[in-house]
Amino acid sequence: MAEKLIFATSNQGKLREIRLILGDLGMEVISMAEAGFHGDIEENGKTFAENAAIKARAVWEKTGGLVLADDSGLVIDYLGGEPGVYSARYMADASYSEKNRVLIERLAGAKEEERSARFACAIAAVLPDGRELLTEAYMEGRIAYEPAGSGGFGYDPILYLPEYQKTSAELDIEEKNKISHRGKALDLMKEKLKEALGGMEK
């Protein structure tokens, strides 16, 4: 069994979450750069699942081994699903605090029940033998009226979770990993990996 798991990201915040969630697999989680992959991957899929698979396959073709990738984003119903699969590239040159401010402004006329939104995450894996696995999960919430919290990254400060009465950025990382789209998708992937690779200790 592979002792290293390559995760196709250079986002350090994301990598920190992933290492915590996958820690009990007993494998070292390394970034694609640490595995020797440098360069851009063209994410031209129309869904989160397609983009995750494109990333995992592109890295695997250069590195081999066990490669995981995710594609995730914020889906806002009032904006017809924006920014969706373009979440990372939305307002490409702006900071996330600026992106978050603009999204809240675009919902200025939206009533409470119209502010529904969710984080979506697809995780793709390419196994050492080339087989592919896929999982998807969501974290439902509403767009906040103003950003709150300093935890997390990206759009976390504007997704308000009514049952917790706080935004995703106000959760501590252990709490967030239990309920987040990425945490749930990674937990599902852990089970699939154990089954596919056999003999993985929990």
Closest CA to 139 of 2, 17, 8: 17
Cβ proximity of 167 and 150 under 8 Å? no
- Secondary structure (DSSP) of 58-100: HHHHHH-SEEEEEEEEEEEGGGTT-BGGGTTTTTTTS-HHHHH
Exactly one of 71, 93, 129, 187 is catalytic; name it: 71
Chain-centroid distance of CA 107 in Å reads 24
Reported for 44-52, long-range contacts at CB under 8 A and 24+ positions apart, including other chains, are 45/71, 45/85, 46/85, 47/85, 47/122, 48/72, 48/73, 48/85, 48/120, 48/121, 48/122, 48/136, 49/122, 49/124, 49/134, 49/136, 51/85, 51/122, 52/122, 52/123, 52/124, 52/134
Tokens of 92: 């490409």
Residue 187 known to be catalytic: no
Q: Radius of gyration of the chain from Cα atoms?
A: 17
Residues with catalytic roles: 71
